[in-house]
Amino acid sequence: MNTVYLDNAATTRIAPEVLEAMLPFLKGEFGNPSSFHSFGSSQMEAIEKARGQVARLLGARSEEIYFTSGGTESDNQALRGAVKIDPDRKGIVTSAVEHPAVLETAKALEDEGCTLGVADVNNNGELDLDSLRELVNDKTAIVSIMAANNETGVIMPLKEAAEIAHKAGALFHTDAVQLVGKSPVDVHSLDIDLLSLSAHKLHGPKGVGVIYIKKGIELPPILTGGHQEKGVRSGTYNAPGIVGLGKAAELALTHLKDTVARERSLRESFEKRVLESCPGAFIVADDAANRLPGTVTVIFRGIESEAVLTLLDMQGIYASSGSACSTGSKNPSHVLYAMGVDYTQANSALRFSLSRYTTEEEIDRVVDLLSVVVERLRRISPYSE
Ligand code: PLP
């Protein structure tokens, strides 16, 4: 059976070039990069090359890139590190639609004595800058606003949010896990202090990521130990993963323009045809000013998303209901809730996320099948109008 993978916001396939770059470090070149002997230490060259590749993708300097185990760790380090810098600044301000890697960490820090402010979003899932402004003050250590939302694809106003943080003397962090590789990012022109990214969202391997730390900021570590990464992140280097991330970053930059154009055109055609062929469907955040090129959440009124997902799955089509990348939780999405979507509609939400490998034929197949599945479920649904 031919499968169609439209769950790229959860994770992506490894690009063949990435796998090829990683293989030597999974086979013969297994030494520890921190070893004194040349068998291990020669790998530092490949690690430094990867650092440069990631830096170029972000418009950063190589020395501002620190390798971690992924987005979750980078988010943790940003928040947990920031509240340790100044004893008079223990405030965290974030938004209601963040990934749990930020929201749950912020709540855990609140339990440990920090203060927490959560800014609102509007019905389109866009950050309410006035709400953010009201929460940030001279006790705020860090403002953390995601670059793009993993469920709706809505892109946030980073420059404006960074300005609000900086006016109050706070650090500005962005979880850019969903945006990097899907839109140009320039950390210096956006005035970002800390940024998280994850390799497996951009056709790299799982379990490796980066925290960008602007030069001059001394962010306390959360992992102490062997002093790798200038003591900012201890732990034996994941050389295959880091090399894979570097290659994935290089490819993301090379393909950026094409990826954006291609995914946007496929997504727009998908949305138009789904709305035409599935009565009662609507696009979440349809009127947002700025969305990711290839991520869309559709609500199929009156139908349980899990029923649609199961029928699609049986035909080899893989999508997701809401925030699948934060476990198989059955709770309605906090993102949709924050946008004012009611419980029943939130249970009818399906996310489709494309990649640079998605083809027109795949989109055709999904649209055709969706209309059949939705029609069939609508006929048997007790909630259907
Ligand atoms: N932040 C966002 C916005 C995400 O979508 C994800 C996805 O899982 C993460 C953080 C976590 O990243 P990782 O899987 O690398 O820990």
Co-location of 280 and 236 in the same domain: no
Residue where a domain terminates, one of 199, 220, 251: 251
Bridge pairing between strands 295-300 and 65-68: unpaired
Q: Nearest C-alpha to atom 4 of ligand 1 is from which residue?
A: 177
Amino acid at 262: R
Please state whether beta strands 349-353 and 295-300 pair in parallel, antiparallel, or not at all (unpaired): antiparallel
Structure token digits, residue 33: 């990069």
Which of 27-41, 46-60, 104-118, 183-197 comes out lowest in average pLDDT? 27-41
Mean pLDDT of 129-135: 98
Ligand 1 mean position to 382 CA, how many Å?
36
CA of 101, closest atom in ligand 1:
10
Ligand 1 atom closest to residue 199's alpha carbon, by position in its atom list: 15
Q: Is the CB of 325 under 6 A from ligand 1?
A: yes
> Is the minimum distance from the CB of 72 to ligand 1 under 6 angstroms?
yes
Is residue 285 domain-shared with residue 299, that is, in the same domain?
yes
Is there a single domain that holds both residue 178 and residue 269? no
Model confidence over 82-131: pLDDT tens digits? 999 999 999 999 999 999 999 999 999 999 999 999 999 999 999 999 99
- Verify whether ligand 1 is closer than 6 Å to residue 149 (CB atom): no
Q: Are residues 132 and 267 in the same domain?
A: no
Domain-terminating residue out of 227, 251, 275 = 251
Residues 301, 364, single domain; the answer is: yes
8 A C-beta contact, residue 246 and residue 21: yes
Q: For position 185, which CATH number holds? A: 3.40.640.10
Conformational region of residue 70, where left means phi above 0, alpha means psi within -120 to 50, and beta covers everything else: left
* d(CA 67, ligand 1 centre) in Å: 15
| Claim to verify: residue 219 and residue 304 sit in the same structural domain | no
Dist CA 4 CA 329 (whole Å): 23
CATH number at residue 325: 3.90.1150.10
Tokens at residue 298, please?
Answer: 């559709």
Ligand 1 centroid to 88 CA: how many Å? 30
Decide if 90 is inside a domain.
yes
Reported as a single tens digit per residue, the pLDDT across 173-216 is 999 999 999 999 999 999 999 999 999 999 999 999 999 999 99
Residue 364: which residues within 8 A CB-CB, separation 6 or more? none
76 shares its domain with 157: yes
170 Cα–ligand 1 center, Å: 24
- Pair (70, 211) in one structural domain: yes
Q: Which two tokens stand for residue 210?
A: 């980066």
Pocket test for ligand 1, best of 95, 144, 150 (most atoms within 8 A of CB): 150
Domain span at 181: 16-251
Which residues, including other chains, have CB under 8 Å from residue 70's CB and lie 6 or more apart? 198, 199, 200, 206, 207, 208, 209
Give me the DSSP letters along 57-80.
HHT--GGGEEEES-HHHHHHHHHH
Give the tokens for residue 270: 């998908």
What is the pLDDT, as a whole number, of residue 172? 98
Domain shared by 191 and 266, yes or no = no
Residues 153 and 238 reside in one and the same domain:
yes
- The CA-based angle 375-296-325, given to 5 degrees, is 105
CB atoms within 10 A of CB 225: 11
Mean pLDDT value of segment 265-292: 96
Span from the CA of 197 to the centroid of ligand 1 (angstroms): 8
**What's residue 378's pLDDT?**
87
327 pLDDT above the threshold of 90: no
Low-confidence winner among 7-11, 152-156, 256-260, 344-348 (lowest mean pLDDT)? 344-348
195 and 331 belong to one structural domain: no
Mutate to test the pocket of ligand 1, among 75, 179, 198, 335 (most ligand atoms within 8 A of CB): 198
Closest ligand 1 atom to Cα of 74: 16
As for how many domains the chain has, the answer is 2
Ligand 1 contact via 101 beta carbon (within 6 Å): yes
pLDDT-derived band at 326, boundaries 50, 70, 90? very low
Over range 223-228, report the average pLDDT: 92
Retrieve residue 167's tokens. 């006016």
**Could you tell me if residue 385 is inside a domain?**
no
182 lines ligand 1 (CB under 6 A): no
